[in-house]
Structure 1
């Protein structure tokens, strides 16, 4: 929990500046489900191992079923329904190559962010990544490949259905997607600490040969400029966020 308090403190000024301005300017922020064409999946596309494990009642009681099934490179993570003892549910993590299981009551659930704490170890999972933190230090981080809901349909993420993903980036604080149909038209950013989504229309994008590598979205006096090297968020020309792009990719 100390890790999350320090993270929230680190980003307090950032989130207040960004989200306050966004709310005042009536940006249509959406926590609704989103997905790109390549990310539209159902449970049949989830690895057979995850399905078989789910069928073997991974939850701590027979009457509790998974409401979310996460697939990462090395793990399956299940979020099980709650009961009278733990109404927020249970976090269950199963390694793909080991016969073991961790079950921890969920202590926080907000915007598809699930947090479970066991002593000095904190487990967090979102539709985008899984974190394991011990004594305030990240000891494991893995990207989430796919998420399946209880009804067997994929939990959408990234670009909206029907859109293409023209670029995607990862910084210390954000996952960012550049979306559109025939051309880039929207800037979608997900805050890593809270899974908050903002969706802004692109003001312009510049070609660099065949590929596009600079995107600009503007909301009032706040501008978002993304390149394959850096993300800058500024107000009236003054940077309020400047972060290196850790990963960059085209679809």
Structure 2
């Protein structure tokens, strides 16, 4: 009986594998090292009850736009030391082309699809403090 059960299970697995398209089969059989899978996951620094509208990354920061039904907060986290800032959004584009938040006179702007690319820019008044290209979003 055990031998028949093993045979049925193996036949079922073989049948399932042969029905899958070859690209699906290859994608499911090729495994990546665990650290690569972890690196590809988006970072979520929103509060548990919030929605994550955007997860982006620059060389030095992880960025989130969080909220409820609508985007409400900018969250920036330093990759170097883990320090974070959470600010109420001042403005955003409904199509998601930019998100802007202020901390006093300092503006944090995530902007997409400019002629020069997509960036995080931090300005104080009219002075640009720094600009980093988005490397993932």
Instruction: Please tell me the TM-score bracket, short chain as reference.
Output: 0.5 to 0.7
**What's the CA shift for 1:144?**
6.9
The answer (yes or no) to whether the contact 2:44–2:55 under 8 Å persists in 1 is no
**What's the CA shift for 1:158?**
1.8
2:48 is the alignment partner of 1:161: yes
Question: Higher strand fraction: Structure 1 or Structure 2?
Answer: 1
Q: 2:75 aligns to what?
A: 188
Given the superposition, is the C-alpha separation of residues 157 and 169 from structure 1 closer, same or farther in structure 2, using an over 3 Å criterion?
closer
**What's the CA shift for 1:213?**
2.0
2:78 is the alignment partner of 1:203: no
Q: 2:64 aligns to what?
A: 177
The answer (yes or no) to whether the contact 2:63–2:77 under 8 Å persists in 1 is yes
2:133 is the alignment partner of 1:244: yes
Q: With CA pairs under 8 Å and 6+ residues apart, which has the higher RCO, 1 or 2?
A: 1
Which consecutive residues of structure 1, in runs of 5 or more, have no partner in the other structure?
1-72, 77-129, 131-141, 147-155
- Count of equivalent residues: 100
SS of corresponding position for 2:46:
coil
Which consecutive residues of structure 2, in runs of 5 or more, have no partner in the other structure?
1-31, 113-117
- TM-score, normalised on structure 2? 0.66
Deviations 1:49-108 (A, max 9, x none): xxxxxxxxxxxxxxxxxxxxxxxx6237xxxxxxxxxxxxxxxxxxxxxxxxxxxxxxxx
**What's the CA shift for 1:207?**
2.0
Question: Higher helix fraction: Structure 1 or Structure 2?
Answer: 2
Q: 1:220 aligns to what?
A: 104
Q: 1:143 aligns to what?
A: 39
**What's the CA shift for 1:230?**
0.8
Q: 1:82 aligns to what?
A: none
Partners of 2:44 and 2:57 in 1: CA distance:
14
Partners of 1:157 and 1:236 in 2: CA distance:
29
